[in-house]
Structure 1
Amino acid sequence: MARPSTLLLAFLLSAGACAQQPDFDPSKLKGPAGGPANEVLVLGSSHLSQLPKRFDPAGLRPLLDRLAAWRPQAIAIEALSGPQCDVLRRYPLRYQDTITTYCPDPDPARATTGLDVPAATAEAHRLLAAWPAAPTAAQRRRLAAVFLAGGEQASAVVQWLRLPEAERRAGDGLDGALVEQLNRLQGQRDESILVGAQLAARLGHERVYPMDDHTADGPSADEKAAGAAISKAWDNPATKKRLAASAALEQHLDTAEGVLAMYRAANAPGETKLAFDSDFGAALEEPSPQRFGRNYLGYWETRNLRMAANIREVLGDRPGMRMLVIVGASHKGYLEAYLHQMHDVRIVDTGPLLR
């Protein structure tokens, strides 16, 4: 006969193995009872920089018209903030690849403004807190320079686009090299610019909000083995289906209707589940003894949680706002699910808007 302590241990172990639904679900406690909730529309996008040459940015006009008609009061983009890049630069052994890929160099603007990233971030907040209803061209050029010094390229482009073309010139912290940079950036094949910054300028916004997060980045203990294991997991029917669908859509990206069709497909019901089956769900079941797929999945979920937190922070500063979030399509379902847990956030369906 088993001793009582053995029986108790067996009970505790079996109870711990049983999945239990938490008894508290924030998404069931929506409010406020009075006043507007926050509305969030998450637009899943292909990364425009990765599209074939036949993609014509002019084809974005119907999409921009639809988004403008929804009239978001803030626009969040999949980009790293200047302050996060400033932190990552302090840990180059871990983040060097991330810095090179995602963090623009603020030093040229630092040289013209005298502001490092923390000082430029504080200066941008100070300027915007006292921003006039009708700023001068000099004020916009100054704010564009400050945004560049703070590592906020897309917001600098918003200020640049809000200037009359004749006023898009050097001065007020912008030298010739920075003017060249802004002219190049405004046409860059990047949804954060061609959709986010362009739309923000059209709607009279002063900035966009970078909400991406790469603090979970870091090299694997065995990069080669991890890459091989995850690539093998990705070789599945769902991946083949996604690739075939993308190839078919890419044949028509030289027309506005083809571009809109790409966005309709990226935001269609079931698309996130297909991405899961192809990518993250496959990684979840990846069988290597080192659990490489689980490492990758942990990174992915952490990144999305931190992105959602960055979005939530902006909503908390201005309760009752309508926010557009522009993000890579594979993030869309995760952000919607996480943000849905927030008490005063309502997720807006993209379907009617994209019809």
Structure 2
Amino acid sequence: MLVAAVVSSAAAAQGYQPGFNPAALKGPAAGPANEVLVLGSPHLSNLPPSFDPANLRLLNERLAGWRPQAIAVEDLSGAQCDFLRRHPQRYQDTVKSYCWDPAPAKAATGLDVPAATAEAERLLAAWPAAPSPSQRRRLAAVFLAGGERASALVQWLRLPEAERRAGDGLDAALVERLNKQASQRNESYLIAAHLAARLGHERVYPMDDHTADSESPDKKAAGEAMMKAWDNPATAQHRRSDDALRARLGTPEDILALYRANNAPGQAKLTFDSDFGAALEEPSPQQFGRDYVGYWETRNLRMAANIREVLGARPGIRMLVIVGASHKGYLEAYLHQMHDVHIADTTPLLR
């Protein structure tokens, strides 16, 4: 009888649908809601050598035409990296992979990450309509000290070329770093920062989150189990399509086609079938797949929360979110649950 009751309870739990649906209760009744366009992007650093950043021109024109008022990127904030560094027993590998060491900027400015973060907010709160080159160089230096490289690049690109020089907290090494970033194969720089500068923004918003990162105690077995789960027909289909698109990147139209495919209806489901859905059914006794899915959902929920925080502080804006393509479906679904967030369709933009 006890077993039957447990089975019955589990079945009832699986069939239960909550009666409250935040997504159905959109507002406000007066005033503009927030509009969010989630652009699924390949990581530009992974594209083949045939990729010419100049061919982003057509994509960037389309994005500029949408006129976002804020841009969020898949980067860790300097503040989160500062937190991760304080817990090396868990996050040492994460810091190596995702965090830039702002020590050179601290040496140039005298500011550590918390002090630089507070100083950037103070400067932006009193930011003039027509800041001087000196003020822009200073803010770029402060952003670097705070670990916010993409926002530092926005300030750098907003300077006239003759004013892109050392001074006001920027030494020669930081100037060299900013000049390299301007052409680095990274969507946070080549798309987001360049677009933000073009549209007159002062910064971009890092919204990635890696606080759910952890390492399996049996890394080898976990890796083997996941590779087996990912060896499936959906993965093969995804790889064939992606390889065909990456084989022809010679024109701006080819780049647009790549982005059109990454953001196509049905792409999120194909990604699920290839990756997260396969992991969910991974049969190891250690349940490596379910651990991975838990990490993935947690990361995306925290990313969505970071985006929502920005929208809460600036209600009624249009925000462009540039994120790895596999995150797109999750972020759209999670953000759609928010009362005053409306998800924009990328299809007309990329047509």
Q: Which runs of 4+ in 1 moved over 3 A?
A: 9-13
2:147 to 144, 151, 157: 151
3-state SS of 1:224 partner: helix
Q: Bigger radius of gyration, 1 or 2? A: 1
Is 1:127 the counterpart of 2:136? The answer is no
Structure 2 match to 1:47: 43
Aligned position for 2:345: 349
How far apart in 1 are the matches of 2:149 and 2:37? Answer: 23
Write the distance in 2 (CA, Å) between the matches of 1:84 and 1:248: 37
What amino acid is aligned across from residue 273 of structure 1 in structure 2? K
How big is the alpha-carbon RMSD for the aligned residues of Structure 1 and Structure 2? 1.0
The yes-or-no answer on 1:27 pairing with 2:43 is: no
- 1:12 deviates by 6.4
Where does residue 15 of structure 1 map in the other structure?
9
Inter-partner Cα distance in structure 2 for 1:44 and 1:11: 45
Q: What residue in structure 1 maps to residue 111 of structure 2?
A: 115
Counterpart in 2 of 1:254?
A: 250
Aligned pairs for 1:163-312 within 5 A: 163-312=159-308
Unaligned runs of 5+ in 1: 1-5
- Match 1:93 to one of 89, 95, 101: 89
Alignment of 1:321 with 2:310, yes or no, is no
Q: TM-score, normalised by structure 2?
A: 0.98
1:104 aligned to which of 96, 100, 103: 100
TM-score (norm 1): 0.97
SS at structure 1 position matched to 2:121: helix
- Counterpart CA distance in 2 for 1:35 and 1:10 is 53
SS of the aligned residue for 1:288 comes to coil
What is the aligned-residue identity percentage?
74
Q: Which moved more, 1:204-213 or 1:21-30?
A: 21-30
Give, in whole Å, the separation in 2 of the partners of 1:182 and 1:91: 29
* Counterpart residue type for residue 232 of structure 1: K
1:69 aligns with 2:65: yes
Alpha-carbon distance in structure 2 between the residues aligned to 1:306 and 1:249: 31
Tell me which amino acid in the other structure corresponds to 1:17: A
Q: How many residues align?
A: 349
Residue type of the alignment partner of 1:80 = L
DSSP-derived class of the 2:284 partner: coil
How much does 1:11 deviate?
Answer: 4.3
Shift of 1:25: 0.8
Describe the superposition over 1:160-184 as per-residue Cα deviations: whole angstroms up to 9, x where unpaired.
0000011000000000000000001
Q: Which residue of 2 aligns with 1:3?
A: none
Cα offset, 1:254, TM superposition = 1.9
Shift of 1:13: 5.5
Q: Give, in whole Å, the separation in 2 of the partners of 1:69 and 1:259.
A: 17
Q: Give 3-state SS (helix, strand or coil) of 1:95's partner.
A: helix
AA aligned to 2:257 is A
